[in-house]
Amino acid sequence: MAPENSKGQYPPSDEYRETAFIKSAEEFNTLYEESIRDPAAYWAEQAENLDWYSKDWKEVFTWDKKENRFTWFKGGKLNASYNCLDRHVKNGKKNVAAIIFQGENDDHVRVYTYGRLLYEVERFANVLKSMGVKKGDRVSVYLPMIPELTITMLACARIGAVHSVVFAAFGAESLYNRVVDCTPKVIVTSDGNYHAGKTINMKAKVDEILEKGTTIEHVVVVRRTGIETDMKEGRDVWWHEEVAAVPLNCDPVPMDAEDPLFILYTSGTTGKPKGLLHTTGGYLLGAYTSFRNVFNYRPGQIFWCTADIGWITGHTSTVYGPLALGATALMFEGVPTYPGRDRYWQVAEKWGVDIFYTAPTAIRTIRQSGDEWVKKHDLSSLKMLASAGEPIDPDVWRWYHRVIGGGRCPISDTWWQTETGGPMIAPMTGAFDLKPGSAMKPLLGIQAAIYDEEKNICAPGESGNLYIESPPPSFARTIWNDHKKFVETYWTAFPGHYLTGDNARMDEDGDYWLLGRIDDVISVAGHRLGAAEIEAALISHPAVAEAAAVPMFDDIKGEAIYAYVTVKDGFNGTEELKRQLVDHVRTTVGPIATPKVIHFAPGLPKTRSGKIMRRILRKVAEGCRKEEIGDTTTLTDPGIVDTLIATRML
Ligand code: 7RM
């Protein structure tokens, strides 16, 4: 890529431009105008890239704005696992690598060709069937980043079961909440997982939730670590024993485009995580199209997204996007800093990674370790870089570009959410002069807009609420069990427009700059955590009366958790209690929710209706002075603010 131009932007090199699907801003503008003049026509044309049993949809897109129900390609029939596997096997890719698995331990390597992956998926689909799993049934998946995770997802898709993956680092309480909500028949887990040199027992957490009572009848356990594992007769079975006992072939079930593909939970403003429901046709089409357009993937390239599959980024960018396209995806089990702080670069060099996709938090961690860790490796195979999960700071962007990308690789800063299913705003790297820190423009077929509180379009430079104007195919259709909440959360602020929950502004060139969340979501290292979930964990400790969690600035994680805690009478806010609370949150929600600060407070600022004023708590956590806090007159006890400022924890 040519160096930075006089405007501080980064135009693509001619060499890169050549390989891109869209090669100039003019070409993009023309295609974009066309795509939004008639989005249904645009998406119907894209739908030709999938393999359908039938394209008998009456209408491409329907949208009932009163009920907030929408459909894409309803009546069309396809199968996601067929699209991700069989069709590539039939098209000469039987012996092309689909997944390159790199375990945490450097010699744990498995390569699955499309042919082998199909074989594994068919066998496991038969295992699920043998357990009585039918079309529409839910299957919970609580697995580390190992190929069995992808195999389970595709096996579900093959027989029409709905997978619900829970991030492996979530604790028992978080797992329980996600499992009871979607009432699965089966859970697929592993004995344990490897994390930064430690072996963690996963099955024990599953046992813990099963004791509380769930709908789960069968537990399939992958032997990953070989640790001592309690297996309950009649309920728990080993993966390797089951797959050896079933027939090899399993035909894919034709699904309606609107049949559910998966449920994925995400944290929101209220205590209960929301199960976003994604459907077969629309989601898969979105994954395919965005993967092709954003990454300019070319056959033979190795694509590596470091996100865990427990998050939407992993669903779309490690499983469905690459496999729908017939690409080769690296699947990595480890962490960026173990055994050395060059682990990512060692892996990228080892496998000759072409496209590397990670989160700003990882880049910040790696940058902090110093350039010499990167310089030890030959990263000349890299062609492009990408980022997702949080705003990427321009300085960090430039470091990523210069040190990781060798000044040669364009960076796509992709903005999206669990709800959107796939990227919505991202630069076309072969066409745009890139601006560090900006996600730039909505993708083809996507319309975004920024409105102020009065629902006027914000002028360039003004910040406001980011909306997506009409739901594209990849959007979640509802919240599992709670359509009312779906409507309230996303479609009520401005009926007919999807509220993203993010602040943004547009610059003079019409490029988008994302500014962070407007709600009570804390983004720790790019992982969305609900303040309410952390608070619920704190409050469940016997010493805690009340708790409020807010984000605080953290130069590595972007945001960290600052927790205010009022203790019950008879308890004292000691260092020992602090340690206990931190441990308690780690085991209930998971290590990613570890509070950075516990601030013992005599009380919390509340409105008369009893709502905790998080705005004020955020400001105190940020270190604001009294004058900067704003109006406190609506509080029942305004004096509490002075106390909190005086006792603020640094
Ligand atoms: C992909 C993912 C969604 C929230 C979203 C934003 C933030 C994601 C970017 C970003 C700035 C980006 N899904 N976010 N990507 N902020 N620039 N490129 O992370 O559902 O887990 O989180 O993440 O606040 O609302 S998510």
Q: Which residue's alpha carbon is at the smallest distance from atom 22 of ligand 1?
A: 417
User: Distance between CA atoms of 377 and 100, rounded to whole angstroms?
Assistant: 20
- Report the residue among 357, 415, 443, 505 best suited for mutation to probe ligand 1: largest number of ligand atoms under 8 A from its CB: 415
The pTM of this model reads 0.89
313 Cα nearest atom in ligand 1 = 1
Q: Specify whether the CB–CB gap between 194 and 334 falls below 8 A.
A: yes
What are the average pLDDT values for consecutive 10-residue runs of the chain, which has 650 residues?
79 95 97 98 98 98 98 98 98 98 97 98 98 98 98 99 95 92 98 96 97 97 97 98 98 98 82 90 98 96 96 97 98 94 97 96 83 96 95 89 97 97 98 97 98 94 93 98 97 97 93 84 83 83 90 91 92 95 93 94 79 84 86 79 87
Q: Is 465 in the pocket of ligand 1 (CB under 6 A)?
A: no
* Rounded-to-integer distance, Cα 373 and Cα 389, Å: 24
Q: Ligand 1 atom closest to Cα of 312?
A: 13
Measured CA to CA, the distance from residue 102 to residue 347 in angstroms comes to 8
Q: In what helix (H) or strand (E) does residue 536 lie, and over which residues does it extend?
A: helix 531-539
Strands (E) across 533-582 are located at 544-554, 558-567
By the 8 A CB rule, do 405 and 382 touch?
A: yes
Alpha carbon distance 583, 122 (integer Å)? 41
Rounded CA gap, 447 and 395, in Å? Answer: 29
From the CA of 345, how far away is ligand 1's center (Å)?
24
State the distance between the two ends of the chain, measured CA to CA, in whole angstroms.
43
Residue located nearest, by CA, to atom 12 of ligand 1: 415
Cis peptide before 339 (omega within 30 of 0): yes
CB 242 within 8 A of CB 209: no
Q: Is 530 in the pocket of ligand 1 (CB under 6 A)?
A: no
| H-only helix segments in 183-271 | 203-212, 239-243
Q: Hey, which of 291, 311, 387, 390 would you mutate to test ligand 1's pocket, going by the most ligand atoms within 8 Å of its Cβ?
A: 390
By the 8 A CB rule, do 531 and 521 touch? yes
Q: What is the pLDDT of residue 1?
A: 47
From ligand 1's centre to the CA of 133, what distance in Å?
33
Q: Which atom of ligand 1 is closest in space to residue 426's alpha carbon?
A: 18
- How much distance in Å is there from the Cα of 15 to the middle of ligand 1? 30
Alpha-carbon dihedral of residues 568, 573, 577, 581, nearest 10 degrees? 70
Secondary structure element (H or E) that encloses residue 113, with its range: strand 109-113
Ligand 1 atom, smallest distance to 516 CA: 24
CB 170 within 8 A of CB 311: no
Find the length of the chain.
650
The values of phi and psi at residue 291, to 5°, are -60, -45
Q: At what angle do helices 280-295 and 39-46 cross, to 10 degrees?
A: 80
Residue 40: strand, helix, or coil: helix
Q: What is the number of the ligand 1 atom nearest to the C-alpha of 517?
A: 24
Question: Is any atom of ligand 1 closer than 6 Å to the C-beta of 517?
Answer: yes
Q: Count CA atoms closer than 13 A to 469's CA, side-chain side.
A: 14
Nearest ligand 1 atom, CA 528: 21
How far apart are alpha carbons 439 and 425 in whole angstroms?
6
CA of 590 to the centre of ligand 1 (A): 20
